A and B are shown apart, each in its own frame.
Chain A
């Protein structure tokens, strides 16, 4: 293990910033530490770098306990959210700075500065002043400066947060390329789930100072282990469901009743639904489809709901026995055109609201609609009493 955090706890005064964080990074791994602002991400970075001494717990680098060691003895590279390039030095001197603290000869330092500036494709800016660099260039110089001393671990603390969207995406790809090229073990700290999903081999989700989930990005996204991850990692609709343990057990969600013998429903084998009478159901806006209800004789909206229920599990467009669906009735509250798609907000008859992502126009405000979801796309979290 290149980096190990062992039951790390930190308090600022009486406020608990980190609570028993245990985490290990393998050699060459790129792990994203993801969480909302104020969740303790930066405290973790500071504890690893040695700028904060944790209240309890241990930090190990390459098998050595460094918890009490000062930052300069740790060999940790760090890039902060805001630029920390030294304005009184040139770009080259900035990159050389971390090399001159060691015992390299001047020739070796100069050669390494060239190599790392080439790595970030800024070899021609060696004599420039950091103040003359663009936002993206200055990020890349900082990356070169942090990497030049060949640290055991690279810590990136929200490195993209201050950049605008286009630049951000490009730099993100650049970071992944550089990380793969030199294979440095990297902890990428971000509050942005898209950044985390796109760069990381593994995501660790932090909430209120504690780790609430860890795993491969795709797996965390598709089967989130808890409600927080479901709603934090990507967009999600949250619906409450009631479970009736008559034989056969049924679950009612969004006004639609579902027989509970579906194997795919029980995503969470450790939390059998049978014991719960309530559950929270998450479904992604992109997994919902919407179609207008055409029923010219009905004008009263209340009359629709019960009569629609019996054929809830039949879906024409998704025909095939493999996919069961639920259907929920509702009225379109509003349609947002966000450019590459439409976000349709539907007020369900169960008095809940869901957002549906849709690629075409064609529904309008106040339309009666049926919202359909495949049962396999539902993630169910039983609420224990």
Chain B
């Protein structure tokens, strides 16, 4: 063994303790994540899952969630991705304010966000009244659920997509322009494909947040019930065991959608990007 190798092995063994400390700290958090999850799942044996899920109330809740969350995600994506691109590329006066505005729904507690929304679209506000008289009630309706989900979940796709566009070297777009493509064609052929991993990650996060949305939904549309509001109702009535079936169903739907979207877009992991 040469002197250099010896020196390396010495520093190598010296480097272990700090990593051990890091690992131990992280481990506590991991246990804290895993333990409730495992114990909760442990209750499944004592609950009639299939029967509960086939009840009308549960099926309606599942249907409502499956109708609303994808729509909210689509709205957030269609409006959020262009915004993300503008924020990644342009500087303009008031940009910081816009950025603060995007984080606002994340900072405000969902219940409060719901109350704020209610003050704009509530039944007795001008907007709410006009919409209701046009036959599209904005509260206590699926539209209301979508409004709540979009408000709370949209920041995820904006923030993630913005980071994705930011990571695309602007020179690649300039090269495309010089090769004869206008700004829109360049966005579609270069920026969008290159940021697609980040955008997909953002879409997945947004969907997961939307389908699990409770606080704002409860304020705007306690009825019709979505899975989270149904879970709340079941919990009040029957405690933890009563919500196990719907909670599992929610988890399963979310996992299936995340896996499917990633599969379709060819993205190996959400967290890495």
Contact = CB atoms under 8 A, between A and B. Distances in A.
Contacts of A78: 174-175, 178
B180 A49 contact: no
* Secondary structure call for the A interface: loop
Given A87-B194, A88-B194, A72 B172 contact: no
A50 B173 CA distance: 13
A251 interface: no
Interface residues of B, number: 18
B96 to A, nearest CB: 18
B176 A97 contact: yes
B14 to A, nearest CB: 35
B169 A72 contact: no
Interface in A71-85: 71-72, 74, 76-78, 80, 82, 84
B180 A51 contact: no
A86 B193 CA distance: 10
Contact of A72 (B180, B189, B190): B180
Contacts of B194: 86-88
Interface in A97-127: 97-98, 101-102
A76 B180 CA distance: 9
A84 B169 CA distance: 8
Contacts of B169: 82, 84
A88 B174 CA distance: 17
A102 B169 CA distance: 24
A145 B185 CA distance: 18
A72 B193 contact: no
A72 B182 contact: yes
A71 B177 contact: yes
Interface string B139-182: 00000000000000000000000000000010110111111111
Nearest to A145: B179
A209 to B, nearest CB: 21
B92 to A, nearest CB: 15
Contacts of A102: 180
A211 to B, nearest CB: 24
Contact of A101 (B171, B172, B174, B180): B180
Given A82-B169, A86-B190, A88-B194, A101 B175 contact: no
A70 B179 contact: no
Contacts of B180: 72, 98, 101-102, 149
A149 B193 contact: no
Contacts, number: 58
Given A86-B190, A88-B194, A80 B179 contact: no
Interface residues of A, number: 23
Contacts of B183: 70
Given A86-B190, A87-B194, A49 B178 contact: yes
B174 A49 contact: yes
Nearest to B170: A51
A373 B177 CA distance: 54
A84 B181 contact: no
B179 A98 contact: yes
A149 B174 CA distance: 16
A70 B177 contact: yes
Interface in A204-250: none
A87 B189 CA distance: 12
Contacts of A98: 179-180
Contact of A70 (B172, B182, B193): B182
Nearest to A151: B178
Interface string B244-263: 00000000000000000000
Most B CB atoms within 10 A — which of A50, A87, A97, A102?
Answer: A97
A88 B266 CA distance: 13
B175 A72 contact: no
B195 to A, nearest CB: 11
A118 to B, nearest CB: 20
B193 A101 contact: no
17 contacts: A49-B177, A49-B178, A50-B177, A50-B178, A51-B177, A70-B183, A71-B174, A74-B178, A76-B178, A77-B178, A78-B175, A80-B175, A84-B171, A97-B176, A97-B179, A98-B179, A102-B180
Given A49-B178, A88-B193, A97-B179, 16 more contacts: A49-B174, A51-B174, A51-B178, A72-B178, A76-B178, A77-B178, A78-B174, A80-B171, A80-B174, A84-B169, A86-B172, A86-B194, A88-B194, A97-B189, A98-B179, A101-B180
Interface of A: 49-51, 70-72, 74, 76-78, 80, 82, 84, 86-88, 97-98, 101-102, 145-146, 149
